């Protein structure tokens, strides 16, 4: 009896076909939009991780020439070396 009621109910419907994933009415509207949002989210997460790791790795790097030149400037500012000696050593470092 129940089987006949279900069969009659299916026959009375306007659309009588088997739903598949690609036929779902939400697929073209929300489905593709949600896929795009998920892709964008994960792309931003991955890019953020790459930028963050590169920034952390770059924090420890100080070029030796810059630190040597900074020490030379500090020595000149304290008066430990004169202008001629400063210019000569600066030229050697460059």
pLDDT, position 32: 74
Residue with tokens 């964008």: 40
In angstroms, the Cα distances linking 12 to 7, 15, 17, 35 are 9, 9, 12, 35
pLDDT, position 48: 97
How many CB atoms sit inside 10 A of residue 49's CB? 10
- Domain parsing of the chain, residue ranges: 61-94
Question: What's the average pLDDT block by block, 10 residues per block, for the chain (94 residues)?
Answer: 68 58 60 85 98 88 71 91 89 82
pLDDT, position 38: 93
H-run or E-run covering 77 = helix 64-78
pLDDT, position 59: 80
Q: Is 62 left (phi over 0), alpha (psi -120 to 50) or beta?
A: beta
pLDDT, position 89: 87
Return d(Cα 72, Cα 76) in angstroms, integer.
6
């Amino acid at each position: 009896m129940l089987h006949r009621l279900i069969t009659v109910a299916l026959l009375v419907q306007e659309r009588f076909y088997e739903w598949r994933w690609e036929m779902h009415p939400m697929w073209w509207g929300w489905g593709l939009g949600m896929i795009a949002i998920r892709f964008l989210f994960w792309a931003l997460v991955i890019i953020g991780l790459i930028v963050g790791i590169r920034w952390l790795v770059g924090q420890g790097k100080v070029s030796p020439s810059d630190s040597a030149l900074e020490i030379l400037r500090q020595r000149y500012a304290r008066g430990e070396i004169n202008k001629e000696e400063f210019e000569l050593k600066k030229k050697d470092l460059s």
